[in-house]
Amino acid sequence: MDDVVVTNAHIAELCAVEAERHEGNKAKAFKRASRKAFTWPMEAATVEELTELDGVGPFLSRVIAEWIAEGTTPDEPPPLRRDFITFAEARAMKRFGVRGDLQMHSTWSDGGSSIDEMADAAKARGYEYIAMTDHSHGLRIVKGLDEAALDRQAGEIAKVEGIRVLRSIEMNLSPSGEGDLEPSALAKLDLVLGSFHSQLRKKEDQTERYLAAIANPHVHVHAHPRGRIYNYRMGLSADWPRVFAAAAEADKALEIDCYPDRQDLNVDLLRIARKEGVRISIGTDSHWHPQLEWIDIGIAAAIKARIPRDRILNLMSADDLCEWAAAAR
């Protein structure tokens, strides 16, 4: 079976299937490795010591080594695990550079790195700017920002040197498309992301919900639109051509969330977005500064979907991006 190349995507699916066949600690180990496989920076088949990969211990190392040696590949993944790009695959592609990352979180909400740490990591990547998009207070499971906290955060952002930090927010949206911050506070920001974080398992069509969110005059980017999570939640469904067409008409953007578990919008939806001419924002959704490298996953998705570069916010200068956001209000 030397002609069969076992990729990290194959390993992710094989682990997911094994997790369903086992119980207890083995099931947990396989399930964890299934998700971690999407974050491995190189193909497991090229690694000498598999235990160096995140989520792989001695037991899984032996199992994965056997799969690689025997050329074991899985059946087509079910929809819950389909159409995800591995970090190793993204890194192997010829990619374009971006000027900045348009979604990340700091210790001001549920992140593990300070604004300075995120900014330093972004400078090391050669970025011109980043958008600091901590959560708003309406998302109760995290320590979100209210209007007063946003003002305090502005003082810390103003002290960052060497890179432009856009004052931003990931604002929680209700199912009716309403935000949880006062318009006067949002008007001070450079960029506003709006996200659904509740009622994400509804089966019925959610088109009207998206149209309401797009009509919200304070939101520039609709973040992780479907709300899907790998092997956990399919996310919402809608008449996507209609949603993307409405966003294009309103000159709003929709996001490629690069977080390996999300990758939302995925390539299939991005192809529809390209046809409708909607703007695209790329954000890592990083909660820790090393996660900024996952931008490659979003870039790979944009390339696979052939998104025109003039429709990608991250290729705009900071001044042009802020000018667009101001006009989009």
Q: What is the pLDDT of residues 92-130, one digit of tens each?
A: 999 999 999 999 999 999 999 999 999 999 999 999 999
Instruction: Give the number of residues written for the chain.
Output: 329
Residue range 131-159: mean pLDDT, rounded: 93
What count of Cα atoms within 13 Å lies in the side-chain half-sphere of residue 254? 34
In order of start, what are the domains of the chain with their CATH numbers?
8-77 (1.10.150.110), 88-328 (3.20.20.140)
Banded model confidence at residue 23, pLDDT cuts 50, 70, 90: very high
- pLDDT digit string (tens) for 225-248? 999 999 999 999 999 999 999 999
Nearest Cα residue to 109 out of 130, 137, 131: 137
Q: What does the DSSP 8-state code read for residue 125?
A: T
In angstroms, the CA 11 to CA 17 distance is 10
For the entire predicted model, the pTM comes to 0.96
pLDDT at 143 (0 to 100): 84
| Local structure of residue 241 (DSSP, 8 states) | H
Could you count the other beta carbons within 10 Å of the beta carbon of residue 324?
16
Sign of CA dihedral 78, 81, 87, 91: positive
pLDDT (mean) for 276-291: 98
Contact 125, 154 (CB under 8 A): no
Average pLDDT value for residue range 14-30: 97
Reported confidence tier of residue 257, pLDDT bands at 50, 70, 90: very high
Residue 265 reports pLDDT greater than 90: yes
Angstrom distance (rounded) from CA 19 to CA 69? 21
Q: Residue 236's pLDDT is what?
A: 96
Average pLDDT, rounded, for the chain? 96
What average pLDDT does the segment 280-294 reach? 98
What average pLDDT does range 68-90 have in this prediction? 98
In the chain, beta strands by DSSP E:
100-101, 129-132, 164-173, 191-196, 221-222, 253-257, 279-283
Alpha carbon distance 17, 30 (integer Å): 8
Q: Is the pLDDT of residue 2 over 60?
A: no
**What percent of the chain is predicted at pLDDT more than 90?**
96
